[in-house]
Structure 1
Amino acid sequence: MRTDTGQVFRLEDYRPSDYLIPELDLTFRLDPERTIVTARLSIARREGVAADLPLVLDGDGLTLGQLLIDGRPAEDGAYEATPDRLTIVKPPKAQHFELTIVTRLAPANNKALMGLYVSNGVFCTQCEAEGFRRITYFLDRPDVLAVYRVRIEARKKEAPLLLSNGNPVEHGDLDDGWHYAVWHDPFPKPSYLFALVAGDLGVVRDRFVTASGRDVALAIYVEHGKEALAAYAMDALKRSMRWDEERFGREYDLDVFNIVAVSDFNMGAMENKGLNVFNDKYVLADPETATDVDFANIEAIIAHEYFHNWTGNRITCRDWFQLCLKEGLTVYRDHEFSADQRSRAVKRIAEVRTLRAHQFPEDQGPLAHPVRPRRYREINNFYTATVYEKGSEVVRMIRTILGAEAFRAGMDLYFERHDGQAVTIEDFLACFEAVSGRDLSQFSLWYHQAGTPNVTATTRYDPSAREYTVELEQSVPPTPSEARKRLMHIPLAFGLVGPDGQDMAYESVEGAAVEDSVIHLRKRRQVIRFKGVEVRPILSLNRGFSAPITLSQETSASDRLFLARHDSDLFSRWQALDTLLTKALIDASARIRGSKEPEFEAALLDCAAEIAADERLEPAYRALALTLPAEADIAREIGSNIDPDAIGAARASLRKAIAIRAHENFAALHRNLEDKGPFSPDAESAGRRALRNVLLDYLAAGSGEPALALHQFENSTNMTERMAALTVLAHQFPTSEATQKALAAFEERYRDNALVLDKWFIVQATIPGPDTVDLVRRLMEHEAFSLMNPNRVRSLIGSFASANQTGFNRVDGEGYRFLAETVLRVEAHNPQVAARLAVAFRSWRSLEKGRQEHARAALAHMAQQPELSRDLRDIVERTLA
């Protein structure tokens, strides 16, 4: 574990390395307690670099066994070695020379799960962002690209499978029951993309023929006996490969593509060139053990990691400040893939809900940072929703501004111009400027400036002049270390909705750039006049969420209801209803805090019921429309002096009001949506189940009885409906006999399936109310729970802290104290996971004063601990600042 050094890395300090490592030859002699790594580095001094300049290589807790310089033992005084650094004080004067470095590792003792470690008897690596330096001394930075040749030696009985990046070269037997395999990756890559897996695993094999006719061997490796659970992942991989050829012209480039699923993994998955390593929860699935959400996540994450082959691997980042260049761009690509595989409107709504739930709070809190950060203390803490989700939105805006044809041309130029390079955001944007002739300098502020812009919109209609005026004004609130903001280029897709629900035509427009139904807001205030408008329209603005902004629009409730019922843009139709529901919940929570009964407009309740029954809309869409804004979303909209208990009570009241109003229709629809045939994870079937499960939640709330949910739990034939029923039981009737019966039955049925048992932990960790923190403490003593496994920690502790607003924010502060003590326990072996748990404190300043003080005390307690890791101290100090 690296303790905090206080060092801050700044974008403006970047400079190329003085040395390069064009070739690297690695030999691993694998043993859980004593692995020997021999690294032969081909070193090249950059032109113009002085011959006597020391070569400094990164390390992290390493033990140096031997050092050779040009094949000869290094002389005393020629180098200085510490666990975290190897300095060649007197390098050879030649432009090119060779280092041979031998290090000794103990993978079985590596509980941080970075570098080389052992997961359930399988040797595995994780090197992003800076894990390779835990394997050997190296220039462990993204802009040092090397061609790797890797030899792996292991006991054949314990590790019959030996995998690394690239193509297999040779394999054979050695003495004493050992064997070896050699891999070669012909494509230069940075050290963070190195991967090794060795162990005894089952495999699912297939083949893929590329557009040019090349035959690629595909394999997914899983624990023995779980091969059938990888079938969907294999299908998703093949669809991803074909889609990338058709949509982006990108063909796979190696002879093999391997995926390995492991149970101990800090991340969701890793895109190592030709050898993707996955958390097994994003590979394994069947109807009995996986929900529809699991199937969709597997499809998306398989695609995401495969798409990295070009956006991240063949073209990588110059430095870690450019992380969004691979992650945000690849998220955009996997979003587009999922939209094409499923429903574009439903996918877009889900993306925006995720963005608002995770990224907007980052922008509004102490952890705010630009899509491309300018400084960091610990890079692991910048794998954030801002880099990923907002980074994707920025790429989407480029496509909106340029149009589909120019966007594709810009991407083609990017691949052609920068293949095999480590590049920057400026390189990326320059490709789009070159193909379109547009100046994107103002637009680039989306990468450089933190914060969520707010756009205020007011409208007026002059019937005598047949003129409709839209006035727009933009502002960006201050964020930490950045009080003054510059004006953004904000592309706002729009429509003028007429009385028949269709977009109205207009004769001309004055006052701003309007292209292809997009308003380009570039100034602080812009007035747009639409001429020749026959009747007063309703403005449908920011359609498809064309820009990641908050929108303050003067629109009456009746106009919003009209849009919710009739807008031709399905995203904006959902947005209109969601805005009405949000306002109703904010008003209800205020009344509850004032000891008054909440009140809801009948028209709003009826609108929700109408949308549920509208068979012109696909079921998945109706399910999203009926899903009330989350408690955290309401808190974000309120902004300050937040009482989570009042928000939770308001949400329960609105759910019950809608349920009672629409009971008869909801009950009939719930019955009609029952699965009659065999399970299928396709989008249409998943949508029907999603709607049925949302209706179950309402029906249980309306009746106040657990019988219907218990019936669905006991009679469901798939995990989607079983989990939905269990959640309704646990969250609405936590102390009932029916709930205890269902929880016990679920535990007994799946006690030997770790991934499914994670769901059991999650559903209990998210039970609303003040008693859940005590339940979580008890569940930590469960035989299936382990603080050493990131999946278990995320399922129980992470879900409680991030998704249980009333439980975590218990009024006496016990939720905060519990999280702080648990974070410190996790940090002792896995600082990365601990830091991510601590992010749950990011919105503490928005709470009412009593809870604020409790949260501050918990944060201060963590900050006062001696020798905190760099990961955790960075989060805690920025959150307290």
Structure 2
Amino acid sequence: MSQPQAKYRADYLPSAFLIDSVDLTFDLRDDDVRIDSRMTVRRNPAAAASSELVLDGTAELVSVTLDGEPVAVNHYSNDAETLTLRDVPESFILEIATRVDPYANSSLMGLYASNGNLFTQCEPEGFRKITYYLDRPDVMAKFSTTIIAERNRFPVLLSNGNKVGEGQTDKRRHWVKWVDPYRKPSYLFALVAARLSVLRDEFVTRGGKKVTLEIWVEPQDLDKSQHAMESLKRAMDWDERRFGLEYDLDTYMIVAVGDFNMGAMENKGLNVFNTKYVLASRATATDTDFDGVEGVIGHEYFHNWTGNRVTCRDWFQLSLKEGLTVFRDQEFSADMGSRAVKRIGDVRNLRAMQFPEDAGPMSHPIRPESYLEMNNFYTMTVYEKGAEVVRMYHTLFGEDGFRRGMDLYFKRHDGQAVTCDDFRAAMADANGADLTQFGRWYSQAGTPEVKVSCQWSELGHTLTLTVSQSTPPTPGQADKLPLHIPLAIGLLDPDGKEFPLTLSSDAAPGPTTRVLSVQEATQHFTFINIDRKPVPSLLRGFSAPVRLTYDYSDSELAFLLAHDRDDFARWEAGQQLAERMLLALYRASVDGLELAVPDDFICACRAVLVDTALDPAFVALALVLPSENELLEKIDAADPERIRQVRAFARAELARQLRADLIAAYELNDIKPFSHEHAGQRELKNLCLGYLAALDDPLAIDLAVSQCRNADNMTDQIGALNALRDIRHPDRDAVFNEFAHRWIDDALVMDKWFALNAASHRGDTLQMVQDLLLHPAFSLRNPNKARALLGSFGRNIAAFHREDGAGYRFMADQVLAVDAINPQVAARLVAAFNRWKRVDPARRQMMQAELERLIAHPALSKDVYEIVEKNLA
């Protein structure tokens, strides 16, 4: 294959032409679709003059007319990716006809078919698969869309905006016209033609506008849509209360599709969703699924303002909309449930997935400087680290200051395509702050490392905190400058009471949690009136996305676990204790020493487990040991199998010594009948069941088998299967098979089953996954299925990292197989190889060989090529 060419942020130039309006007509026929586009085009006065109009497009070109006249052959050229018109006037009407075959489109980008229905996905560059256009986010136009189709085949015809007309063309065919009154870029265009059922409701905005709400799903799924509707109404109400933002169209529509590359898409007024984030009932969805639906419903709705009304100037600015909207959906979910549990969950996710990305070959800033394939930059860094950067504004300025910045941002930029710098400027100007240094968060890759030390003066009653920061080198960025880091801290006296944090320059006693602005490579902060030696509580609320180091003793960590009033810091103390214990076990295993879990650690876990005053969901989080993949990041030349073994030993030893407490907690939290309010109790109950099963305890096996067979909700069924996942026992296989037989016709439930099988640490997992590729409910063409089975396998430290390399060979084979169908999904799967340099030399060599085999493949997509090439660089 020819080497793909990179695009660079520094090369951005405004479009030479603008499109004021585009009228689209889709004629849906038996075997293909004809698209007629009528565009009002003019030169951009803010761009360099050009006599050529270059449009993006890959669809079959049928005809081109300019101001009503066919364009002569010598006035245009058409290649595989563009249509170039020469000698165009200052302004003109351009009409283009194209033809596409959605039924042969396995990439799920552009216009494609799923289960006989037609859908679009245009972000980031899918619109060019439909027609020729200036397919870039800074070209914003008003769209109208007319869809013509056979009524019996496609009774539902949807697009962006408000429906302004419909009728019959003949006895068989009908048409519907939609008009979007707001300018938008092409990536926000959407069309759906389908046989679907609808759940309708209504929302009245604070301004008195009545909005019709519609959720369109397959007929058999209508009863699973109510939670999504309630989530939507909660999101609309929350956005009005928190940010004063009201919805602006007559109708808000959500459409669920089973074949979808992403979680959902915020197309203006017509959100297209993966079914995973719409459908939920207690019989088929876990508590985690319910939370996921609410969070993603909120996320896409919030995009109406942070992404649609104000959008990105170019794709390098993706975090402008995604980081901001992730922050907004995190805050929404926190307000709907437990703020502490939500925050801890988000940080766990960041550390497990984004921190390794920051430290690996795909490391990039939240505003990348270059890319080969834009789909590869829908990353944890852009989304989740981007959200942490937005959160730091909130931490620095508080709720009121952040709201002032948001209000100014919308006042300045409503209806515009702008940059991350524009958002930063609004925050700075609204709060009278200098955020020049803060801008480095957008341009520097890598996770900053913050080291803290304390010096307490018993005589002077002062405590001096010394904070130093550095960011490790990353590909293309060897040297890093100091960042502006908000560091939230507290100080606890020996009784667990918090000191007011007063600096010598303060006029009055300070708060018990203080945010320090760390801006230099090394800084000192001296607090007064500290009359007893304190234990510092650092990085409260995870106030910045950094790795923080402080030389805590084990007893200090246990003290914080018992007494810290900041829930994140309390959880973090427990995780640090657990990580120290696991790393010590790993070293002991390498040295051939006898393994033992310290009594102090077991006592600390028991204290948390039996504390009924704590939120059960928090207890469950506190008792989850750091994952194998998290430990992999802490060990040089790591042996993945040894990591798995020592973690399994620690779980089993905890279960053995806490067996009675785990059984008691299981029984206490086994609450019936089912209620959504008891999600935390179910989480703790199933965690206890998982620990007990680590002993191969007959009681635990009986409990899990009975729970799976008799549960009245999916959370408990999956909890039981997860407890049995790694066990070799006839009852284990029986309940797994019974579950699959019961749910064979429910695609989302089967995805959970595929994922559980692929995550098993049994020795036969690879063979099991190979067999499941042929399962009647599995298809490589479906992204959810591929992610469930192959994605889970790639994260399975036992099966993927087999000593014989068979896991690597299998995964590389599947990447190639998926790449021929859907490169975007294949690129997600090949990321399993990203940490190949962290493992032991033998495994490293085998992983490198598979990467070299992939890059040598003659038909490799640029999606996969970019990731493999960066791995091998």
Amino acid of the residue matched to residue 28 of structure 2?
Answer: L
Structure 1 position 284 matched with structure 2 position 282 = no
Quote the residue 2:773 is aligned against.
780
CA shift in 2, pair 1:509/1:860, >3 Å: farther
For residue 14 of structure 2, the aligned residue among 7, 13, 16 is: 16
Aligned equivalents of 2:388, 2:221: Cα separation in 1 = 37
Aligned equivalents of 2:195, 2:837: Cα separation in 1 = 50
Question: Secondary structure of 1:824's partner?
Answer: helix
Task: Give deviations 1:4-34, integer Å, cap 9, x for gaps.
Answer: 6521111110010000011000000013522
**1:146-185 alignment runs, 5 A limit:** 146-185=141-180
Quote the residue 2:749 is aligned against.
756
Quote the residue 1:616 is aligned against.
613
CA shift in 2, pair 1:530/1:719, >3 Å: same
Structure 1 position 413 matched with structure 2 position 413 = no
Give the deviation of 1:90 after TM superposition: 2.1
Quote the residue 2:642 is aligned against.
646
For residue 71 of structure 1, the aligned residue among 68, 75, 99 is: 68
Structure 1 position 403 matched with structure 2 position 398 = yes
Amino acid of the residue matched to residue 386 of structure 1?
Answer: T
Residues 606 and 661, structure 1, Cα contact 8 Å, conserved in 2: no
Quote the residue 2:656 is aligned against.
660
Give the deviation of 1:216 after TM superposition: 0.3
Task: Give deviations 1:625-684, integer Å, cap 9, x for gaps.
Answer: 01111111111122x21111111111111112221222112211211211222x2323xx
Quote the residue 2:810 is aligned against.
818
Give the deviation of 1:727 after TM superposition: 1.1
Give the deviation of 1:115 after TM superposition: 0.2
Aligned equivalents of 1:744, 1:245: Cα separation in 2 = 48
Residues 265 and 790, structure 1, Cα contact 8 Å, conserved in 2: yes
Question: Secondary structure of 2:633's partner?
Answer: helix
For residue 672 of structure 1, the aligned residue among 668, 687, 694 is: 668
Question: Secondary structure of 2:31's partner?
Answer: coil
Quote the residue 2:535 is aligned against.
538
Question: Secondary structure of 1:474's partner?
Answer: strand
CA shift in 2, pair 1:492/1:48, >3 Å: closer
Structure 1 position 253 matched with structure 2 position 251 = no
Aligned equivalents of 1:173, 1:480: Cα separation in 2 = 59
Aligned equivalents of 1:813, 1:38: Cα separation in 2 = 52
Give the deviation of 1:470 after TM superposition: 1.6
Aligned equivalents of 1:291, 1:540: Cα separation in 2 = 34
**1:40-59 alignment runs, 5 A limit:** 40-47=38-45, 53-59=51-57
Amino acid of the residue matched to residue 578 of structure 2?
Answer: L
TM-score (norm 2): 0.98
In the alignment of these two chains, the number of paired residues is 868
Task: Give deviations 1:165-221, integer Å, cap 9, x for gaps.
Answer: 000000001114000000000000000000000011011000000010000000000
Amino acid of the residue matched to residue 224 of structure 1?
Answer: P
Aligned equivalents of 1:697, 1:507: Cα separation in 2 = 46
Give the deviation of 1:719 after TM superposition: 0.6
Structure 1 position 805 matched with structure 2 position 794 = no
Amino acid of the residue matched to residue 35 of structure 1?
Answer: V
CA shift in 2, pair 1:32/1:448, >3 Å: farther
Quote the residue 1:561 is aligned against.
558
Task: Give deviations 1:122-148, integer Å, cap 9, x for gaps.
Answer: 110000000000000000000000100
Aligned equivalents of 1:583, 1:49: Cα separation in 2 = 58
Gaps of 5+ in 2: none
For residue 483 of structure 1, the aligned residue among 456, 468, 478 is: 478
Aligned equivalents of 1:872, 1:129: Cα separation in 2 = 17
Residues 590 and 646, structure 1, Cα contact 8 Å, conserved in 2: no
Aligned equivalents of 1:545, 1:607: Cα separation in 2 = 22
Identity %: 47
CA shift in 2, pair 1:602/1:345, >3 Å: same
CA shift in 2, pair 1:149/1:557, >3 Å: same
Structure 1 position 848 matched with structure 2 position 840 = yes
Structure 1 position 502 matched with structure 2 position 493 = no
For residue 862 of structure 1, the aligned residue among 854, 862, 865 is: 854
Amino acid of the residue matched to residue 120 of structure 1?
Answer: N
Residues 467 and 531, structure 1, Cα contact 8 Å, conserved in 2: yes
Give the deviation of 1:510 after TM superposition: 6.8
Give the deviation of 1:502 after TM superposition: 2.0
Give the deviation of 1:475 after TM superposition: 0.8
Task: Give deviations 1:275-334, integer Å, cap 9, x for gaps.
Answer: 000010111111110000000000000000000000000000000000000000000000
Structure 1 position 829 matched with structure 2 position 821 = yes
For residue 189 of structure 1, the aligned residue among 181, 184, 189 is: 184
- Tell which deviates more after alignment, 456-465 or 63-72: 456-465
Quote the residue 2:526 is aligned against.
529
Give the deviation of 1:514 after TM superposition: 9.1
Structure 1 position 300 matched with structure 2 position 295 = yes
For residue 450 of structure 1, the aligned residue among 445, 448, 471 is: 445
Amino acid of the residue matched to residue 644 of structure 1?
Answer: P
- Tell which deviates more after alignment, 442-451 or 456-465: 456-465
Residues 608 and 619, structure 2, Cα contact 8 Å, conserved in 1: yes
CA shift in 2, pair 1:871/1:514, >3 Å: farther
Structure 1 position 871 matched with structure 2 position 873 = no
Aligned equivalents of 1:743, 1:610: Cα separation in 2 = 34
Aligned equivalents of 1:868, 1:635: Cα separation in 2 = 29
For residue 831 of structure 2, the aligned residue among 829, 839, 851 is: 839
Question: Secondary structure of 1:36's partner?
Answer: strand
Amino acid of the residue matched to residue 282 of structure 1?
Answer: Y
Question: Secondary structure of 1:41's partner?
Answer: strand
Amino acid of the residue matched to residue 595 of structure 2?
Answer: P
TM-score (norm 1): 0.97
Question: Secondary structure of 1:42's partner?
Answer: strand
For residue 589 of structure 2, the aligned residue among 587, 592, 599 is: 592
Structure 1 position 698 matched with structure 2 position 696 = no
RMSD of aligned residue pairs (Cα, Å): 1.5
Residues 507 and 533, structure 1, Cα contact 8 Å, conserved in 2: no
Quote the residue 1:765 is aligned against.
758
Residues 13 and 47, structure 2, Cα contact 8 Å, conserved in 1: no
Amino acid of the residue matched to residue 846 of structure 1?
Answer: R
Quote the residue 1:118 is aligned against.
113
Quote the residue 1:743 is aligned against.
736
Aligned equivalents of 1:185, 1:479: Cα separation in 2 = 44
- Tell which deviates more after alignment, 4-13 or 335-344: 4-13
For residue 630 of structure 1, the aligned residue among 608, 620, 627 is: 627
Question: Secondary structure of 1:540's partner?
Answer: strand
Amino acid of the residue matched to residue 671 of structure 1?
Answer: E
Question: Secondary structure of 2:219's partner?
Answer: coil
Give the deviation of 1:711 after TM superposition: 2.0
Amino acid of the residue matched to residue 413 of structure 2?
Answer: H
Give the deviation of 1:454 after TM superposition: 0.5
Give the deviation of 1:51 after TM superposition: 6.9
Give the deviation of 1:458 after TM superposition: 1.3
Question: Secondary structure of 1:253's partner?
Answer: coil
Residues 33 and 109, structure 1, Cα contact 8 Å, conserved in 2: no
Give the deviation of 1:429 after TM superposition: 0.6
For residue 31 of structure 1, the aligned residue among 21, 29, 33 is: 29
Residues 831 and 871, structure 1, Cα contact 8 Å, conserved in 2: yes
Question: Secondary structure of 2:586's partner?
Answer: helix
Aligned equivalents of 2:80, 2:257: Cα separation in 1 = 28
Residues 514 and 520, structure 1, Cα contact 8 Å, conserved in 2: no
Residues 136 and 186, structure 2, Cα contact 8 Å, conserved in 1: yes
